[in-house]
Chain A
Amino acid sequence: NAGVTQTPKFRVLKTGQSMTLLCAQDMNHEYMYWYRQDPGMGLRLIHYSVGEGTTAKGEVPDGYNVSRLKKQNFLLGLESAAPSQTSVYFCASRNADGSNYGYTFGSGTRLTVV
């Protein structure tokens, strides 16, 4: 059981380039999230999805787009990368059943924009 898988694990982009980060989960979770983590800032929510075909903005959505065409996949896109988007990106998922269980995180993507 793989849990939550993120690809790629590392990437270096030039300013203005685009890329897509993929998150895949095999736990049949309804909710999926994209966070970024910067030193001293904690985890900040970029976008999230409460089900297939739905997405919503989080705390810091500017410069990112997402899609959830299949329940198990949640894609994060950067259309025109900027140095301010250098960060570690984590995907997470959880059940929608109101249980007191927390999230399952992917292992992260380290992105550097030069």
Chain B
Amino acid sequence: DIQMTQSPSTLSASVGDRVTITCRASQSISGWLAWYQHKPGKAPKLLIYKAASLESGVPSRFSGSGSGTEFTLTISSLQPDDFATYCCQQYYSYPWTFGQGTKVDIK
């Protein structure tokens, strides 16, 4: 299985901050990576697919980059609604695997 490792596990930030989350794959996954936002009791929300493609309806302050084994999710200016957990997922090969999540909380 391809292991996905996110850093940091927790990130404290303020509204307006630029936030960057890193996801590393244990082997090359080309650009087959998705990012999700997850809030307690709610359905996870797809933000980014194919490493850098923004899902329809997702604010442009979210962006993704990377290829191979290292990927980043950037929130250019953190908004109150963005305090949540973010996780990455590789879909290069079965079984699909996820990172352990990065919780973004209020500083």
Partners in one complex: no
Give A contacts to B, CB under 8 Å.
none
Give B contacts to A, CB under 8 Å.
none
